[in-house]
Structure 1
Amino acid sequence: MTILVTGADGYLGWPTSLRIASRTDDRVVLVDNFGRREWVSEVGSVSATPVADIETRLEAAEEVHGLTNLSFVEGDLTDRSFVDELLQVHEPETIVHTAAQPSAPYSQINGERANFTQHNNMQSTRNLAWGFHENDLADTHLIETTTTGVYGAPEFPIPEGGATMENQGDRDDVPFPAMAGSWYHLTKSHDAANLRLANKQFGIPVSDVRTAITYGAATEETAADDRLATRFDFDYYFGVVAHRFAAQAIAGYPITVYGKGEQRKPFVSLEDAVEGLARLALNDPDDRPDDHVVYNQVTRPISIVEMGTTIAEVATKFGFDTEVEHFENPRDEDETHQMEIDNDRYMDLIGDQQVTFEEGIRGVFERLADRADRIGAYEDRFLPGVLEDRLDDDSAEAPPAADD
C-alpha cells in the first residue's frame, strides 16, 4: 500500500508525514514543489525555526525515528501530466492533500495573487480528482484539508458539514453555503464543492477536513531533532494570528489586537490536527466512508482578546515583558461575533484534545525563546502593507537573509 502526502514540506504536511510513517510499514510518498518557501521569501520573511532541506529532513527521519518508508517526489500539482504520472507510478490507496497557497492576506494583495491562489489551489485539487477517475483509482481515499473559513461568520451554530434547508414546507439536506471572506478561503469552498461532485460522479471516497487556525511549534516527532523541525511563520501574510502574537512578544512588541477582538475564532493544536489526519489516512480500507464526509477540525473557539491575553501571560513566564494593545481594525468584520461550531465527528476521531491553547503557546515559547534576534530582524513583517510598499518601490531594502 502507498500513501501520498501533498504539501509535505509544509507546516502541517511535514509532521503529518512523519506521524503516518511512524505508524505503518507502508510506503509514504511525500510530494511538494517548495512553493511555501518561495512565497514567504517573496514577502520578505522567514520561518522563525530554520527549516532543513528535504534531503536532510529525510535523513534525520531515518536516523532519529528509524523511518525507512519515506520517499520524496518534487512536482507541481497544477500540471496534469505530472499528476497523472504520479498516480500511475505509485497507485496510492490514500492521499492526504495538504498542498495549497494557504494565506488569506496573501491572496488579497492584488489581482495577480488572487488569480494565482485560485488557480494553484483549485487546479491542484481538480487534477487529483480527475486523475483518480481517469487512472482507474476511484477507490483512492482523498483526504483534503480545506478550512473552517469556508463557513464565514454566520449568526447561528455551524454544523459539521451540511445544513437543512426548508422551502414551502419541504426540507432537504444541502451543502453549507460558501460564505468565505477571502480569495483564498473561496478556493476551499470551491474545492469542497468539486470534491462533493467527484464523489457523486466518480465514487471517490472523500474526507473533507475543515482545518481551524492551527497553533503550535512542534509535534512529538518534529521536536526530537532540529533537522526535523516544521516551519513557524510569524509575518502578517503567512503567520497565523496566534503565532504572530507570540513572535511580537518575543521581539519586544505589544500584542496587536485589531478592534475589540471579542470575536471568537476556531482553533486546533498542531498535535491534534496531525493526529486526526494520520488516523484518517491509516483507517482500514473496509472502514473508510464511501461518501463525502466533513470533519470540523477544531477543538474549541477562542476570542482574539482571550488569545492575546493568554499569550501575554505565558510570555511573562518566559521573561518577555509585553501587553495587549488594541489597534484600528483594517478588516471588515464583526468584532463581537461569537462563533459556535459543531465538532463531534472530529472529536470522535481523535478522542480527547491533546494540547490546550495555553499548552501549545508554552511549547511555542520553549522552542522560540532563543530566536529573538532572528524574529527581530523581520519585525516590520508583523503588520500589513510592507509587501505592497516593496512592490511599489523596487529599491526597497530587504532584511538580512536567513537560511531556511
Structure 2
Amino acid sequence: MSILITGADGYIGWPTALRIASRTTDRVILVDNFGRREWVGEVGSTSAIPVASMAERLEAAEEVHGLSNLSFVEGDLTDRSFVDELLQVHEPHTVVHTAAQPSAPYSQINGERANFTQHNNMQATRNLAWGLHENDLSDTHLIETTTTGVYGAPEFPIPEGGATMEHGGERDEVPFPAMAGSWYHLTKSHDAANLRLAHEQFDLPVSDVRTAITYGTETAETAADDRLATRFDFDYYFGVVAHRFAAQAVAGYPITVYGKGEQRKPFVALEDAVEGLARLALGDPADRPADHVVYNQVTRPISIVEMGTTIAEVAAEFDLGTEVEHFENPRDEDETHKMEMENERYLELIDGQSVTFEEGIRDVLATLTEHADTIAAHEDRFLPGVLEDRLASDDEQAETGGTPDDEAEVEAE
C-alpha cells in the first residue's frame, strides 16, 4: 500500500509528506522535479530559510522522526510515460497532488511563461487522472490543491462547491463559474473542470481542495531540525502577500498597501493546510468520498490593511520599526471588496482553526529575523520592476547565445 505526494519538495508538499508519513505505515512516495527551486532562482531570488537537498531531508526525517517509510522519485509529471510508470510500479491508493507552477505574477510576465504555466499545470493533472484510469486505479483517491483564486471576487458569498442557478423558472446545481484573474489561476479552473469530468467518466473519487493564501514557516515536524525546514519565499513573484509584508518589516521597509486595502482575501495557516490534506489522505477508506468534493481550504478572510497593521504590530514586539504606508494601486480591483466564503466542510475536516493570523505572523517574524541577511541581500526583489527588467535581459541574452551577468549568482542560490 502506498500514498503518492506530488510537489513534495514544495512549501506545502514537504510538510504534508512528513505529517502523512508520521501517521501511517504505508509507503509514502514523494515526487518532484525541483521546478520551484529553479523558478525562484530564475527571478533572482531565494528561499529566506535555507532548504536542504532531498537526500538530506530524507536522512533527517529518519534520524529525527524515525520515518523509514519515505521514498523519493525525481521526475516530470508532464511526461505521460513517467506518470504511467510511476503509477504502475507503486499502485497508490491515494494521490495528494500539490505539484504546480504556483505563481500568478510569474504567469503574467510574458506569453512564454503564461504558456509554460498552463501546459505544466494542466498537463500534469490530466496525466494523473488518465493514468489512474488507464492503469486500473480508478478507486484511488485523487486529492488536488487548487486555489480559492478560481472564484475571483464576486459580490455574493462563495459556496463550498457548486452554485444554484435559476433561469426560465428552472433551478439546478452548477459548478461555480471560473472567474480567475491570472493565467495561473485559470490553470486551476481548468483542473477543477477536468477533474469533475474525470469523476463523471472514470468514477474517480476526487477532493478538490481550494487553498487560500497560506502563511507560516513551520509545522511540528519541520521545526524539529533545520534540515527539515520547508521553503519560505518573500519576493514579488513567489512570496505570498503576508510573507512579503513580513520580509519588508525585517528589512526595515514600510508595509506597502495598495490603495485603501480594505478588500478581504482568504487565508489559512500552513499548519491548518497540512492537517487538512493529511486527514483527507489518511481517512478511513470506507469514509472516502466516492464523488467530486470541493473544500474551501480557508479559515478566515482578512483585509489587506488589517493584515498589514497586524504585521506591523507584531513586528514591534521584535523591535522592528515599520508601519503601513498606502500607495497608488496599480491594479484594477475593488479596494473595499468584502469577500465572504463558505468553509464549513473544511473547518469540520480540521476540527476548527488552530493557528490565528497573529500567531502565525509571530512565528514568521521569529524565523525571518534569524535570516535577515538573506532578505536584505534580495530586498530589490520585493517589487516587480527590477525582476521584469532582469528577465527581459536574460531572455534576450538566451536568444543571442550570451550569458547574463548574474548567472553564477542565480546558480549559487
1:285-323, Cα deviation, whole Å (9 max, x unpaired)? 111111000000000000000000000111110111001
Aligned to 1:5: 5
Aligned to 1:290: 290
**Secondary structure of residue in 2 paired with 1:392:** helix
Deviation (angstroms), 1:391:
2.8
Pairing 1:319-398 to 2, within 5 Å after superposition: 319-394=319-394, 397=406
Runs (5+) with no aligned partner, structure 1: none
Aligned to 1:212: 212
Aligned to 1:114: 114
**Secondary structure of residue in 1 paired with 2:266:** strand
Q: Quick check: 1:235–1:382 contact (8 Å CA) kept in 2?
A: yes
Deviation (angstroms), 1:400:
5.2
**Secondary structure of residue in 2 paired with 1:293:** strand
**Secondary structure of residue in 1 paired with 2:384:** coil
Q: Quick check: 1:160–1:296 contact (8 Å CA) kept in 2?
A: yes
Pairing 1:39-118 to 2, within 5 Å after superposition: 39-118=39-118
Aligned to 1:165: 165
**Secondary structure of residue in 1 paired with 2:14:** helix
- Quick check: 1:186 aligned with 2:186? yes
Q: Quick check: 1:378–1:399 contact (8 Å CA) kept in 2?
A: no
Aligned to 2:270: 270
Give the distance between the partners of 1:402 and 1:315, measured in 2 at CA.
32
Deviation (angstroms), 1:397:
4.7
Q: Quick check: 2:264–2:304 contact (8 Å CA) kept in 1?
A: yes
Structure 1 length as normaliser, TM-score?
A: 0.98
Pairing 1:171-320 to 2, within 5 Å after superposition: 171-320=171-320
Q: Quick check: 2:153–2:337 contact (8 Å CA) kept in 1?
A: yes
Deviation (angstroms), 1:327:
1.2
Tell me which amino acid in the other structure corresponds to 2:189.
S
Give the distance between the partners of 2:407 and 2:327, measured in 1 at CA.
26
Tell me which amino acid in the other structure corresponds to 1:250.
V
Q: Quick check: 1:46–1:402 contact (8 Å CA) kept in 2?
A: no
Q: Quick check: 1:44–1:398 contact (8 Å CA) kept in 2?
A: no
Tell me which amino acid in the other structure corresponds to 2:273.
A
Give the distance between the partners of 1:7 and 1:365, measured in 2 at CA.
26
Aligned in 2, Cα 1:213/1:272: closer, same or farther, shift over 3 Å? same
Give the distance between the partners of 1:61 and 1:391, measured in 2 at CA.
37
Tell me which amino acid in the other structure corresponds to 1:299.
T
1:88-124, Cα deviation, whole Å (9 max, x unpaired)? 0000000000000000000000000000000000000
Give the distance between the partners of 1:256 and 1:333, measured in 2 at CA.
16
**Secondary structure of residue in 1 paired with 2:128:** helix
Give the distance between the partners of 1:51 and 1:402, measured in 2 at CA.
14
1:315-347, Cα deviation, whole Å (9 max, x unpaired)? 110111001111121222111100000000000
Q: Quick check: 2:211–2:298 contact (8 Å CA) kept in 1?
A: yes
Tell me which amino acid in the other structure corresponds to 2:166.
E
Aligned in 2, Cα 1:402/1:243: closer, same or farther, shift over 3 Å? farther
**Secondary structure of residue in 1 paired with 2:310:** helix
Aligned to 2:401: none
Give the distance between the partners of 1:67 and 1:87, measured in 2 at CA.
22
Deviation (angstroms), 1:399:
9.7
Aligned to 1:30: 30
Aligned to 1:132: 132
Q: Quick check: 2:296–2:346 contact (8 Å CA) kept in 1?
A: yes
Q: Quick check: 2:43–2:391 contact (8 Å CA) kept in 1?
A: no
Deviation (angstroms), 1:393:
3.1
1:256-313, Cα deviation, whole Å (9 max, x unpaired)? 1111110000000000000000000001111111100000000000000000000011
Tell me which amino acid in the other structure corresponds to 2:117.
T
Q: Quick check: 2:146–2:208 contact (8 Å CA) kept in 1?
A: yes
1:124-170, Cα deviation, whole Å (9 max, x unpaired)? 00000000110000000000000000000000000001000001110
Q: How much is the aligned-residue C-alpha RMSD, in angstroms?
A: 1.2
Q: Quick check: 1:147–1:211 contact (8 Å CA) kept in 2?
A: yes
Give the distance between the partners of 2:327 and 2:406, measured in 1 at CA.
27
Q: Quick check: 1:50–1:403 contact (8 Å CA) kept in 2?
A: no
Q: Percent identity?
A: 82
Give the distance between the partners of 1:397 and 1:57, measured in 2 at CA.
29
Tell me which amino acid in the other structure corresponds to 1:67.
L
Deviation (angstroms), 1:367:
1.2
Structure 2 length as normaliser, TM-score?
A: 0.96
Aligned to 2:142: 142
Give the distance between the partners of 2:359 and 2:38, measured in 1 at CA.
31
Q: Quick check: 2:49–2:230 contact (8 Å CA) kept in 1?
A: yes
Aligned in 2, Cα 1:246/1:368: closer, same or farther, shift over 3 Å? same
Give the distance between the partners of 2:367 and 2:25, measured in 1 at CA.
31
Give the distance between the partners of 2:133 and 2:260, measured in 1 at CA.
49
**Secondary structure of residue in 2 paired with 1:76:** coil
Deviation (angstroms), 1:398:
7.0
**Secondary structure of residue in 2 paired with 1:29:** strand
